[in-house]
């Protein structure tokens, strides 16, 4: 009896101490991230030295070299670049838009949408017709012929998760030009998809032109949208002159940047972690997605700092071209598949550097639900929101590879205030919030590396 | 059998629909708060028209009048001022501190602590001795005689909840002058209690002088602390000259501002909700605690907007003098007790206007745990953190009145970056984060008003 009891005690102690070890290691990851904030310093450097890093640009090339160098300096595992051809859209000269009001031209704050064509050098001069949504557009029929369609669709404020509101509003940016062109419109102005009321236009990708005549499309700031809407109420015949020299050049060579620590026990099982390196040419791309890139880099760095030897292989990937093509994510998935690699899990951070609240799992949902058992280990760090849902655009290319896809969920209240705008700058990122995300990703990678994902 | 089944069905439907009604009303409160953001506009006005509203100041008087007026304009229930005498400490001329380095005087960014005495008009010139904590001070014995003690205690970065780190670091600000004076020091410089590394000194209250000689005490920015510490490493005989004309004047008359909606069924049961109206004279007091004040005001406004007639009486209180005396909270509790009033619950927001994460209950903890059953109703709004703990300084005066005390828990990552500093300005508050707090408080008040707290 006594012996059995002792055995049982040993067994229980063993289990408890394994759990305890995990929680201690996780605590150390958070402590290291919050006290050294290395990701924050990397982000500062990235924003300062390689802002405006849209695919194919000089900024993107600088970002590739910089992140490669930063990863090299960690001095843990191997670092390499993976070639990928990317779309190369350029903004050209800064756009301008004016309301023609009597003898006065009143400026509007606009910026071309990614993939849009430009105007003639003289600019596009036309009447403007405002619609709230596609229903209104459809009803107008050929009344929009020869006119600029102004989609003044407000992003809805009453979702707690602002990504839900984004999903519903972004369709006008994405499909607005094609839909309007189909009805004979000559241009499109789209209200910025943001909950902020300010004078920053928010760019972003639109769909490639369908079989319709290509027409120029731009975003307008929310203040600009109000100004324009108010002016249209007073004068239905209001004209606008819009100039843009944006265009699409031939595809250009670029790279994903990858750092890898080989697993000690199961090196063939790969854990991918990262974000995307490209960013719109309007700002620093601090939240979108410099934050995700440095959080992924921090996983490697935190493992090094705590001298953790992962049992499974860890790959930090800084993906190129998420914003207007997704070629980096696709190329990584393709090459990996061609080599017969086994990416057992992939974790992406592409929702900004604000306080993380949890993880979103995409893939085998029965299996994901089992992984929710880890939730308790993250409770001391506010990571309460574990759910089935969207993971990340770059890793989704591995959807059919049997990979468990995971997205970090940050607080989304402020994200769209800066998203794709000139206001997405380094000063908008808080070092603690950013590093809580780094540590959360490192902790999940640690658990996956120790125990796999099954 | 069939009849019983129908009865059961009716009963279940009844219960479900009551729950459903609550969740619908709560949803409406969040929608109204997020779409109209009235609290945010009030906060803008408060920060613009009545910044630097330390008790007894002109700013505080303006704030009383402004909030009274804003509450009047809601036009729901009654609005009144409650007299209270408050401490009246004034900063006087802006402080200055210089390191005397050869022929050069190197400026340091400092500000006097609340309740501190000033220096002579010529300033205080003395050697500086750096300590990390009280242990080091004690060991120095009378070596600190005639010197300025520099408490260079870093706020710890590894707590998820920064209030825990604050609690451990603030003792040097609070008790540092008394402790140093006891050992013969002539002045005190305290490293700002913040996790930000910048050049803003963070003020705050220190304890009244004990039976020791009063010595001047100031806070120094974290950058200043590094500058001073580095200089001391090079030159142990470094002198500083510090000038301040701060002083304590006789107590001054001021007010709590109160808005009240009488309960329709249990008017004698009172629900208190609010924050504190006074703020340090260094900034706008946007997060501390303009945010809490307007969130409390929003409870009244949201009830009005949705035409909710509360069953119990709701009192929104903007308390005066939390920062350096707590006289407003004490006066409210005293007058209420004298009148035999029954404050069944009090909810305070005094942790900033960042994304709310839950509520902290102080009082009958068995009862509080029962109230945690409401947690599910708040889950869609990220309010996951329900716990037993500190509520709020103003309402704590009702601790022994059988009142259920509740504190709103906002995300604490950024709070101490701005706390008590010139950087606590309106632009640091996000409208959605602020209004999520308003709606959360309104929702809890709504439930308490419908069902009581037992």
Between chain A and chain B, the number of residue pairs with CB atoms below 8 A apart is 59
B430 and chain A in contact, CB less than 8 A: yes
Cα of A419 to nearest chain B Cα, Å: 15
- State residue A1's pLDDT score: 46
B6, part of any domain? no
Same domain assignment for residues A82 and A159: no
Contact predicate B108/B222, CB 8 Å: no
Contacts of A417 in chain B (CB under 8 A): 430
pLDDT digits (tens, 9 = 90+) for B251-295: 999 999 999 999 999 999 999 999 999 999 999 999 999 999 999
Interacting residues of A175 by C-beta distance below 8 A, sequence separation 6+: A134, A206, A207
B158 and chain A in contact, CB less than 8 A: yes
Q: Say whether B158 and A411 touch across the interface (CB within 8 A).
A: no
What is the radius of gyration, based on Cα positions, of chain A? 24
Q: Is the pLDDT of residue B3 over 80?
A: no
Phi, psi at residue B321, to the nearest 5°?
75, 35
Q: Is the pLDDT of residue B377 over 60?
A: yes
Looking at residues A213-237, what average pLDDT do you find? 97
pLDDT digits (tens, 9 = 90+) for A139-197: 999 999 999 999 999 999 999 999 999 999 999 999 999 999 999 999 999 999 999 99
A267 and chain B in contact, CB less than 8 A: no
Q: Burial of A249 by CB count in 10 Å (0-12 exposed, 13-18 middle, 19+ buried)?
A: exposed
Same domain assignment for residues A313 and A332: yes
Range of the domain at B58: 27-89+250-451
Mutate to test the interface with B, among A154, A155, A355 (most CBs of B within 10 A): A355
How far from the centroid of its chain's Cα atoms is residue B253's Cα? 21
Q: Say whether A433 and B413 touch across the interface (CB within 8 A).
A: yes
B9, part of any domain? no
A287 and chain B in contact, CB less than 8 A: no
The continuous run of DSSP H or E covering B412 comes out as: none
B379 and chain A in contact, CB less than 8 A: no
Using the structure block, give the residue that is written with the tokens 């595809």. Answer: A251
Residue of A31, A34, A158 lying closest to B31 (CB–CB)? A158
Residue of B30, B157, B432 lying closest to A413 (CB–CB)? B432
Same domain assignment for residues B184 and B275: no
Same domain assignment for residues A240 and A147: yes
3-state SS assignment for residue A281? coil
Residues A245 and B156: their CA atoms lie apart, in Å, by 52
B269, part of any domain? yes
Confidence of residue A299 (pLDDT cuts 50, 70, 90): very high
Contacts of A435 in chain B (CB under 8 A): none
Residue of A384, A411, A436 lying closest to B355 (CB–CB)? A411
Other C-beta atoms closer than 10 Å to the C-beta of A434 total 31
Residue of A158, A357, A430 lying closest to B34 (CB–CB)? A158
Contacts of B305 in chain A (CB under 8 A): none
Contacts of B385 in chain A (CB under 8 A): 382, 384
Same domain assignment for residues A224 and A275: no
Same domain assignment for residues A132 and A68: no
B346, part of any domain? yes
Q: Is the pLDDT of residue B11 over 60?
A: no
B303 and chain A in contact, CB less than 8 A: no
Residue of A160, A195, A381 lying closest to B160 (CB–CB)? A381
Residue of A162, A195, A430 lying closest to B414 (CB–CB)? A430
Closest CA to B276 of B362, B346, B219: B346
Cα of A233 to nearest chain B Cα, Å: 23
Looking at residues B345-354, what average pLDDT do you find? 98
Q: Say whether B385 and A381 touch across the interface (CB within 8 A).
A: no
Tokens of A154: 């407000």
Domain boundary among A189, A217, A245: A245
Q: Is the pLDDT of residue A20 over 90?
A: no
- State residue A115's pLDDT score: 98
Residues B341 and B398: their CA atoms lie apart, in Å, by 11
- State residue A376's pLDDT score: 96
CATH number, domain of A235, equals: 3.50.30.30
A36, part of any domain? yes
3-state SS assignment for residue A337? helix
pLDDT digits (tens, 9 = 90+) for B137-177: 999 999 999 999 999 999 999 999 999 999 999 999 999 99
CATH number, domain of A57, equals: 3.40.630.10
Domain boundary among A218, A245, A272: A245
Q: Say whether A432 and B411 touch across the interface (CB within 8 A).
A: no
Domain boundary among A245, A268, A302: A245
Helix-helix angle B431-451:B291-305, to 10 degrees = 60
Cα of B432 to nearest chain A Cα, Å: 6
Residues A349 and A359: their CA atoms lie apart, in Å, by 10
Across chain B, mean pLDDT equals: 95
Same domain assignment for residues A170 and A130: yes
pLDDT digits (tens, 9 = 90+) for B395-423: 999 999 999 999 999 999 999 999 999 99
Same domain assignment for residues B225 and B327: no
Q: Burial of A61 by CB count in 10 Å (0-12 exposed, 13-18 middle, 19+ buried)?
A: middle
Contacts of A414 in chain B (CB under 8 A): 430, 432-433
Cα of A253 to nearest chain B Cα, Å: 40
Instruction: Say what percent of chain B tops pLDDT 70.
Output: 96
- State residue A102's pLDDT score: 80
- State residue B5's pLDDT score: 53
Contacts of A384 in chain B (CB under 8 A): 384-385
Q: Burial of B219 by CB count in 10 Å (0-12 exposed, 13-18 middle, 19+ buried)?
A: buried
Same domain assignment for residues A232 and A125: yes
Could you list the beta-strand ranges (E) of A110-246.
Answer: 110-112, 124-131, 148-151, 187-191, 217-220, 239-243
Q: What is the DSSP letter of A147?
A: S
Q: Say whether B414 and A436 touch across the interface (CB within 8 A).
A: no
pLDDT digits (tens, 9 = 90+) for B13-52: 555 556 679 999 999 999 999 999 999 999 999 999 999 9
pLDDT digits (tens, 9 = 90+) for A394-452: 999 999 999 999 999 999 999 999 999 999 999 999 999 999 999 999 999 999 999 99
Same domain assignment for residues B356 and B327: yes
B320, part of any domain? yes
Looking at residues A245-261, what average pLDDT do you find? 98
Residues A140 and A131: their CA atoms lie apart, in Å, by 9
Q: Say whether B380 and A430 touch across the interface (CB within 8 A).
A: no
Contacts of A382 in chain B (CB under 8 A): 160, 357, 385, 411
A416 and chain B in contact, CB less than 8 A: no
Contacts of A160 in chain B (CB under 8 A): 30, 380-382, 436
Same domain assignment for residues B209 and B179: yes
Same domain assignment for residues B217 and B271: no
Q: Is the pLDDT of residue A260 over 70?
A: yes
- State residue B1's pLDDT score: 45
Contacts of A195 in chain B (CB under 8 A): 432
B3, part of any domain? no
User: How many domains does chain B fold into?
Assistant: 2
Contacts of A355 in chain B (CB under 8 A): 355, 411, 413
Mutate to test the interface with A, among B157, B287, B358, B435 (most CBs of A within 10 A): B157
pLDDT digits (tens, 9 = 90+) for A70-108: 999 999 999 999 999 999 999 999 999 999 988 889 999
- State residue B20's pLDDT score: 78
Contacts of A433 in chain B (CB under 8 A): 413-414
B151, part of any domain? yes
């Amino acid at each position: 009896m006594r012996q059995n009891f002792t055995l049982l005690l040993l067994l229980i102690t063993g289990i408890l101490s394994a759990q305890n070890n995990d929680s201690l290691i996780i605590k150390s990851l958070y402590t290291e991230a919050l006290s050294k904030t290395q990701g924050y310093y990397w982000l500062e450097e990235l924003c300062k030295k390689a802002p405006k890093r849209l695919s194919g640009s000089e900024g993107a090339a600088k970002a590739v070299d910089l992140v490669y160098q930063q990863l090299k300096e960690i001095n843990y595992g191997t670092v390499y670049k993976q070639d990928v051809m990317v779309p190369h859209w350029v903004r050209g000269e800064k756009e301008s838009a004016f309301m023609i009001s009597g003898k006065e031209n009143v400026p509007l704050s606009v910026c071309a949408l990614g993939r849009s064509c430009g105007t003639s050098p003289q600019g596009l001069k036309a009447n403007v017709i405002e619609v709230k949504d596609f229903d209104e557009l459809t009803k107008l029929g050929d009344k929009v012929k020869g006119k600029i369609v102004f989609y003044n669709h407000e992003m809805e404020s009453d979702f707690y998760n602002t990504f839900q509101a984004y999903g519903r509003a972004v369709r006008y940016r994405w499909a607005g030009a094609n839909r309007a062109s189909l009805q004979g419109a000559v241009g499109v102005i789209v209200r910025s998809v943001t909950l902020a009321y300010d004078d920053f236009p928010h760019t972003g990708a639109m769909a490639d032109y369908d079989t319709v005549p290509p027409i120029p499309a731009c975003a307008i700031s929310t203040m600009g949208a109000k100004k324009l809407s108010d002016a249209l109420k007073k004068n239905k015949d209001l004209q606008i002159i819009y100039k843009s020299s944006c265009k699409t050049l031939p595809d250009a060579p670029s790279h994903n940047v990858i750092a890898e620590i080989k697993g000690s026990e199961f090196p063939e099982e790969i854990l991918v972690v990262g974000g995307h390196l490209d960013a719109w040419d309007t700002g620093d791309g601090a939240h979108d997605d410099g934050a995700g890139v440095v959080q992924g880099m921090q996983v490697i760095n935190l493992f090094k700092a705590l001298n953790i030897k992962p049992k499974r292989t860890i790959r930090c990937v800084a993906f190129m071209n998420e914003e207007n093509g997704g070629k980096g994510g696709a190329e990584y998935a393709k090459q990996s598949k061609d080599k017969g690699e086994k990416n057992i899990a992939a974790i992406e951070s592409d929702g900004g550097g604000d306080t993380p609240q949890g993880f979103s799992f995409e893939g085998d949902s029965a299996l994901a639900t089992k992984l929710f058992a880890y939730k308790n280990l993250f409770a001391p760090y506010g990571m309460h929101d574990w759910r089935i849902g969207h993971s990340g655009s770059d890793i989704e290319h591995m959807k059919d590879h049997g990979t468990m896809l995971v997205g970090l969920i940050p607080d989304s209240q402020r994200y769209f205030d800066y998203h794709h705008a000139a206001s997405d700058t380094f000063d908008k990122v808080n070092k603690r919030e950013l590093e809580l995300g780094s540590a959360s990703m490192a902790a999940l990678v640690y658990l996956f590396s120790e125990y796999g994902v099954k």
